[in-house]
Amino acid sequence: APAHAQITHLGQACVAVKEDNIIERVYTIREGDTLVLQCLVKGHPRPQVRWTKTAGSASDKFQETSIFDETLRIERIQRIQGGRYYCKADNGVGVPAIKSIRVDVQYLDEPILTVHQTISDVRGSFYQEKTVFLRCTVNSNPPARFIWKRGNEIIAHNQDNGVDIYEPLYTQGETKVLKLKNLRPQDYASYTCQVSVRNVCNISDKSVTFKLTNTTAPPSLKLSVDEVLVVNPGDNVTIQCSLTGGDPVPSLQWSHSPTPMPRNSRVQGGNLTIWGIQPEDAGYYNCTASNNVGNVAKKVVNVMVRLMRNATFQIIPDTIKESETIQLGRELKLSCHVDAVPQDKVNYTWYKNGKNIKLSDRMELFKNDPELTPVTGSLEIIDLRFTDFGTYLCVASLPGSSIPDISMEVNISSETVPPTIRVPKDRAVIMVREGSRAELQCEVSGKPKPSVLWFRADKEVPWPSGSLVEETEDGKLQLDNVSREMSGAYKCQTARYNGFYIKPREAQVQLNVLCEYP
Residues of the chain with CATH 2.60.40.10: 4-106, 112-211, 223-303, 308-415, 418-514
For the beta carbon of residue 308, count every other beta carbon within 10 angstroms.
19
3-state secondary structure of 279: helix
Cα separation, 39 vs 19, whole angstroms: 15
Length of the chain: 518
Cα separation, 211 vs 204, whole angstroms: 24
Cα separation, 201 vs 103, whole angstroms: 14
Question: Residue 454 contacts by C-beta under 8 Å, 6 or more apart in sequence?
Answer: 440, 469, 470, 471, 472, 477, 490, 491, 492, 493
Task: For the domain covering 223-303, report its CATH number.
Answer: 2.60.40.10
Cα separation, 174 vs 394, whole angstroms: 64
The CATH number, out of the four listed (2.40.100.20, 2.10.25.10, 1.10.645.10, 2.60.40.10), of the domain defined by the range 4-106: 2.60.40.10
pLDDT of res. 401: 87
Q: What pTM value is reported for the model? A: 0.74
DSSP code for 96? P
**CATH T-level fold of 418-514:** Immunoglobulin-like (2.60.40)
CATH 3.10.20.30 fits 112-211, yes or no: no
pLDDT of res. 12: 67
pLDDT of res. 59: 47
The CATH number, out of the four listed (2.60.40.10, 1.10.3720.10, 2.40.30.10, 3.90.1010.10), of the domain defined by the range 308-415: 2.60.40.10
For the beta carbon of residue 34, count every other beta carbon within 10 angstroms.
12
pLDDT of res. 159: 75
Tell me the average confidence (pLDDT) per consecutive run of 10 residues in the chain, 518 residues long. Answer: 87 62 75 92 92 63 63 91 91 92 93 90 64 95 94 85 84 83 91 94 95 94 95 95 95 93 93 96 96 95 95 92 90 95 94 91 87 89 94 94 93 94 93 93 94 91 83 92 91 94 94 79
